[in-house]
Amino acid sequence: MGMNKATKYISSGIAALGVLALSAAPVLAQKIDLKPTGDFSPLGDLTVPKLVSGFVKLTLVAAAVIFFFILVIGGIRWIMSGGDKQATESARGQITAALVGLVIVFAAFAIVQLIQTLFGIRILELEIPKF
């Protein structure tokens, strides 16, 4: 009994792939340098932990700036209310919300600093000490 055509094609395809895999081994063993050069060379030092820590720092700073501007706008609204009780209460609520937001942002930063000090885990740089 002979092999049918499909089995012949499959076995010859597997043999061809084996030959290709063996011949490609020296090419795959070569080192490919993907580090950026020139003005982009600092990008070669980027890692996922550095990106995440940069994002966390940026978020803390952006939140503090946003809440500060909300506080200033609330103060301007209070000044511009002209004695209107409704507008004054609205401005006071905005100022209170901005102050609470600022307290939360600074408390989060303080908690991160406390964890770094007590446990030695550098959260803002995502470096966990090795045992």
For 32-41, 53-62, 85-94, 113-122, which range has the lowest pLDDT when averaged over its residues?
A: 32-41
pTM of the model: 0.57
With 0-12 CB in 10 A as exposed, 13-18 as middle and 19+ as buried, what is 70? Answer: middle
Mapped onto helix, strand or coil, the DSSP state of residue 117 is helix
Query: What is the pLDDT averaged over residues 48-57?
Result: 77
Q: What's the Cα-to-Cα distance from 41 to each of 16, 31, 47, 79, 91, rounded to whole Å?
A: 41, 19, 13, 51, 49
Res. 17 pLDDT band, cuts 50 70 90:
low
- The residue ranking higher by pLDDT, 125 or 3, is 125
* Contact yes or no for 109/61 (Cβ under 8 A): no
pLDDT value of position 119: 83
pLDDT greater at residue 32 or residue 108: 108
Sign of CA dihedral 71, 73, 75, 78: negative
